[in-house]
Amino acid sequence: MHLSPTSLIAGLGLLAMAQAGPVAPVAGPEAGITFTVERTALGEIESFVNATALGVDIFGEIPDDGVREGDKVLAEPGSKAWAWIRAQIDIDWNNVPEEQKARAEKRQFWANIGVGMWTMDHCQGVAAYWDNAQYGLHHWDDMNFYSIGIYHRDLRNSEQLDVSRWANGDWCGRYMGTIGGEGIGCAHVGPINCFHLFLK
């Protein structure tokens, strides 16, 4: 196949424009990204069933078999901490009894919202969990994450949750998109390394 200099230059120009173009949001109805709560064949919430089988209280403190690194907890699949983290994003806080809400709120700080990210689709693989996500900070890890969930409440109209990935020597160097305002369960967004929660 022979390419003329004109067609080669035109092709390279289109490639450069495609790479320099804006990145589409990764979540929200317009992007087709939805949060999903996985259920068993009996209609039970799968993550609650799995946590209960391990003796995990999903409204209590995170089990101590996770590894705390600064402002996050890392948990391997099969651990109690992993089961607890996974269950958090499936809780519909609008329908939780006040007693359970009060127990959970005792461990809330800062923005009163938590974020979990997983190294595989469907919120599987190694989990990284930030219980007290702070406004205005970039929360990151050097692993690639492919799914995300938020817990305790929906994002408010005054809040924005952006996700990004490694670029130019920075784990948060390339903006990948914005997570929509509400969602219970798991959303597929990766690969990402970082999230940033802030007030608009």
Give me the domain span that covers residue 130.
26-199
pLDDT reading at 58 higher than 80 = yes
Pairwise CA distance, residues 57 & 40, whole Å = 19
Determine, yes or no, domain membership for 16.
Answer: no
**Residue 165 lies inside a defined structural domain of this protein:** yes
pLDDT reading at 149 higher than 50: yes
Domain-embedded: residue 115: yes
Residue type, 86: R
Asked if the structure places residue 79 within a domain, the reply is: yes
Token pair belonging to 107: 């461990």
* Mean pLDDT for the chain overall: 80
Other beta carbons within 10 Å of 198: 15
- For the cut 80, the answer to whether the pLDDT of residue 95 exceeds it is yes
Q: Give, in order, the Cα–Cα distances in Å from 105 to each of 38, 61, 79, 100, 101.
A: 25, 11, 24, 9, 6
**How many domains is the chain built from?**
1
Q: Is the pLDDT of residue 40 over 70?
A: yes
The reply to whether 8 falls in a domain is: no
The model's pTM is: 0.69
The Cα–Cα gap between 150 and 183 comes to 8
Residue 181 lies in a domain: yes
Whether residue 7 is contained in a domain is answered as: no
In the predicted structure, residue 62 carries a pLDDT above the cut 60: yes
